A and B are shown apart, each in its own frame.
Chain A
Amino acid sequence: MESLNRRGLRNGLLMVLMWALLVPVTYGHGEIAQMAGIRMRTIHWFDTEIQPTQVKVNDIVTVRGKFMVSGHWPDYVAKPEEWVFLNIGVPGPVFVRLDATINGMPQYQSTAFKRGEFYEYEVKLKARVPGEWHVHPLINVWEAGPIAGPARFVQIGGDKADFVNTVTLMDGELVDVENYGLSSMWSIHLLWVLVGLLWVGYWFRRLPVMMYRYVMVKEHGELEAERRLISIQDIVVSATFVVAIIGVTLGLMVWSFDRWSITIPLQTGKVEAPVIPLPESQQQVDVKVNRAQFDLPSRRLDMALEVTNRSTEPVRVGKFVTGYARFINPAVLEDMKHDRYDPVAPTGLSSDVEWIEPGQSRLINVTLADALWGEHRLTDIVAEPDLRFAGLMFFYSADGQRHVREIGARMTPNFLPGYVPVNRHGGHVTLESRGSMG
């Protein structure tokens, strides 16, 4: 029996050890758990910069970039014109946020966005807790949850004890934010704990109490037990406690009115996120999606697009951004992964037409094919309540000028290898017919 117990103990310890050593460390925030349809059709993040990525406690990290609020916002999700909040996705307050702006306007409270508009944001963070942290820009949308942007790992060195955070209150006092009022809070708490212990101590001053009183109630009945167990002294002490507690409460209130004489209620409400003319909102390339098909087995979205170039330069497709993921045309751009979590497919975009000349309107086929669809659970768009997709298509001229257009449409999923979906006319969509559109 003893050896059996010993063996059991040994096996148990081994299991704990294996669990501790083999369970992978999680660095992200479960951002890919958010519904694919919500990620792809709400906020399109681009030009994200998180710099620097190696800092010490008290150093400043800036998160900046742009996003577009999708015009293809799902009907089953609350609208961004209600409540949104520019936030940061980090594991707890490892940074403190010093400032946040959208299109130059401070964002200390919630705001609202207009669908179809582009916004530029900047958030300044102060490093607080040493470690390596995955930092996302993030927008909380009322009733939809957090919509995370692309992240970078930021390494904070140094000692948390060196962290400094002070602010000047409106009465002119410079205070340490993390400790302000703490000593009085503890004192008040401990005062009430003492009062509670005194009360309990009074009743338990002579042991035994509980069983003795239980037997009294059982033997003599409730009324008689009350008569025998409760004395005039008990009533006087109880009344004294009531009066003293009310007195101490009022005394502490008067003291606090004097000590913190200027107080205001918690502030709430919306701040404005103004729409200003960004380069991205003045585009000269129009795109219409004629047809889209998502092939689940091969992780590929095929789109037939009608592109009209109203600019003075020839343009070509360089990038597609949906949610926070980037599909790159390697013939046009170079965009490599910053780390293994960076949601970029460096060769994920291809097109059968290279240049679209000025004034020309062309049908082109664009394919977005990469394991990124699966890695970031974007394949779940085939399981959405509204089978649509949306994203930003980036066109580039030879001199690097950028034109951004949001595209979005119904999407036909293909669940099985070799299956060819039926089109609206009852025929089948074939590779040949799609090819002929270009």
Chain B
Amino acid sequence: MKPPPFEYRAPATVDEACALLASLEDAKVLAGGQSLVPLLNFRLARPAHIVDINRISGLDRIYERDRGVAVQALARQADVEDSGIVARVCPLLGVAVRLVAHRVIRNRGTVCGNLAHADPASELPAVLLATGGHVVARSARGERTIEADQLFRGVMETALAPDELLVEAWFPASAEPFAVIEESRRHGDFALAGVVRAEDRLALFGVAPTPVLADPRDPAHGLQPSGDLEATSDFRLHLVRVLTERAFAA
């Protein structure tokens, strides 16, 4: 349970980080580390290089833009949870982030890192998808915006290129009514299944390789969730129907 050897780099600016990502083979970005470090400890990830972005200053802002809220790469989940801007502009994000693990984890974990990690059972990718948000990716080649419905490609796979750094996530102002409801074995665990409602839009998590948009009238249509020790495939489908009903009853 110790990380494998790697070369460690701690750039001081975004440009420096992008230059490193462009030149290094097999580099992984370290932000909050609450998903990456467990993978290193289990040796499920063995990157040759770690690019630690925590020394970059001025990359932890949470601010309003384009009638939404932007969360930069080093804004911790706890900061988002406590943010007055998030509570006012996008309360859906504020509610959802409280469901991510535990406060002690959220003190380090970042919203952008969570999105880049793209765990299919995670809440925030589904929030980005339901609200129609986007992320901003920077590289030595330039900057581009990736819409939520283009970002998630598979289990822990995104459209980010190896030389790109996710510098910011943007969530549109939440429209009423909204809801985030999930079922997990214990508080703070990954959800067996969960739903995010943003007005009339519905996104599901924990039931497919990526978060998916679904029809609120027939949310389980076409889904084939995997089964495991904690929940069978049928039980996950059942949860999707029940949780959707609850989300839209509100």
* A and B are partners in one complex rather than unrelated chains: no
The chain B residues found within 8 Å of chain A, CB to CB, are none
